[in-house]
């Protein structure tokens, strides 16, 4: 009896140790980041494409989309997430972060202290970004107005309060490969980069499994609104009959082919993307049309 007890205890320790190793943060090679130089002007385009302001601008601050004071709430099945302050304030924002800290946060979901961020922060998409783009983004964000609003804690239920558990989640679900593979034109490739990496479109348009990970097999086929009611539309199925012109015009104007006007969280997406070159929107449209195949 005692021997069985020891065996179970030993197995338990091994399992816990394995889980601890699997769940440990895996930052990027800092040498690969330290040598890069960020350009703020290029970073503005990344900022708009990545939609950082949609979640991180303050509540009631729609007229100041560049003050990233945080504080917006996002209800989910796991609890309520609150976007933190990512303005350049050195105390309450990210003004004290190094370039390497920033890239690890955005592309790996790891804080400067080595804690995991929850995947409500779409590093699950940004992991596919070019490091240079994220370094440019950092340079741009450091030029935005600092704000001293303290970040608010998330309001999650147990066991989701254990951040180390996110490490196991990452081991299961965090992937850096493209969802759409095969032969793509240059335009479609650019569209894939914008859609799957920076603009993180799949995060809302793709359904999630019970653990909140995207079901890549059902990519962009529509999903329940991840933080609210109603559904985010299917843009990959046969009933989605928009032309490339329709998609590009929608992203630049917010008008559907039937001249309904965009609303909800997509309105934020449009207000960001419409500031990009038309060629970028055409590229997203070219990619979206390939989803149907």
Partner 1 sequence: MTFTRILGTFALGAALAFPALADENPAVAARQGQFQLFVHNFGALGGMVQGRMEYDAALAQTAADNLFHVTRHDQSRLWPDGTDSMSIDGTRAKPEIWDNLDDFVTKFVALQQAAENLQAVAGDGLDAMRAAFGPTAGACQACHQVYREEAG
| Interacting residues with partner 1 (CB under 8 A) | 225, 228-233, 249, 253-255, 258-264, 267-268
For residues 187 and 268, which CB has a smaller minimum distance to partner 1 in the complex? 268
Closest CA to 78 of 5, 191, 1, 165: 165
For residues 41 and 62, which CB has a smaller minimum distance to partner 1 in the complex? 62
For residues 171 and 267, which CB has a smaller minimum distance to partner 1 in the complex? 267
| Tokens found for residue 127 | 């992991």
For residues 1 and 258, which CB has a smaller minimum distance to partner 1 in the complex? 258
Answer for the pair 269, 51: CB distance below 8 angstroms, yes or no: yes
> Taking the complex as a whole, how short is the minimal distance between the CB of residue 11 and partner 1, in angstroms?
47
Task: List the alpha helices (DSSP H) in 174-260.
Answer: 186-192, 202-205, 244-253
For residues 110 and 232, which CB has a smaller minimum distance to partner 1 in the complex? 232
Torsion sign across C-alpha atoms 230, 232, 237, 243: positive
> Taking the complex as a whole, how short is the minimal distance between the CB of residue 260 and partner 1, in angstroms?
6
Torsion sign across C-alpha atoms 90, 85, 213, 132: negative
> Taking the complex as a whole, how short is the minimal distance between the CB of residue 255 and partner 1, in angstroms?
6
> Taking the complex as a whole, how short is the minimal distance between the CB of residue 204 and partner 1, in angstroms?
9
| Tokens found for residue 25 | 């943060």
CA distance 58 to 176: 30
> Taking the complex as a whole, how short is the minimal distance between the CB of residue 254 and partner 1, in angstroms?
6
């Amino acid at each position: 009896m005692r021997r069985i007890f020891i065996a179970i205890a030993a197995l338990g320790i091994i399992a816990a140790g394995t889980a601890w190793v699997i769940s440990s943060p895996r930052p990027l090679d800092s040498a690969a980041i330290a040598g890069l130089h960020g350009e703020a002007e290029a970073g503005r385009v990344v900022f708009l494409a990545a939609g950082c302001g949609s979640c991180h601008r303050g509540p009631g601050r729609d007229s100041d989309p560049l003050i990233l004071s945080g504080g917006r709430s996002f209800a989910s099945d796991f609890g309520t997430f609150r976007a933190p302050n990512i303005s350049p304030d050195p105390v309450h924002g990210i003004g004290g972060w190094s370039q390497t800290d920033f890239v690890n946060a955005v592309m790996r979901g790891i804080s400067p202290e080595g804690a995991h961020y929850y995947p409500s922060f779409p590093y699950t998409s940004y992991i596919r970004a070019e490091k240079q783009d994220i370094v440019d983004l950092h340079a741009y964000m450091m030029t935005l107005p600092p704000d001293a609003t303290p970040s608010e804690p998330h309001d999650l239920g147990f066991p989701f309060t254990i951040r180390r558990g996110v490490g196991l989640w990452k081991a299961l679900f965090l992937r850096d490969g493209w969802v759409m593979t095969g032969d793509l034109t240059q335009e479609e490739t650019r569209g894939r980069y914008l859609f799957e990496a920076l603009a993180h479109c799949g995060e809302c348009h793709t359904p999630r499994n019970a653990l909140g990970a995207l079901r890549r097999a059902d990519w962009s086929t529509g999903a329940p609104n991840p933080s609210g009611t109603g559904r985010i539309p299917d843009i990959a199925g046969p009933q989605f009959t928009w032309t490339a012109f329709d998609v590009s015009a929608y992203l630049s104007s917010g008008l559907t082919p039937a001249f309904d006007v965009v609303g909800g969280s997509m309105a934020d997406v449009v207000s960001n993307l419409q500031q990009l070159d038309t060629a970028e929107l055409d590229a997203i449209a070219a990619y979206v049309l390939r989803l149907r195949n």
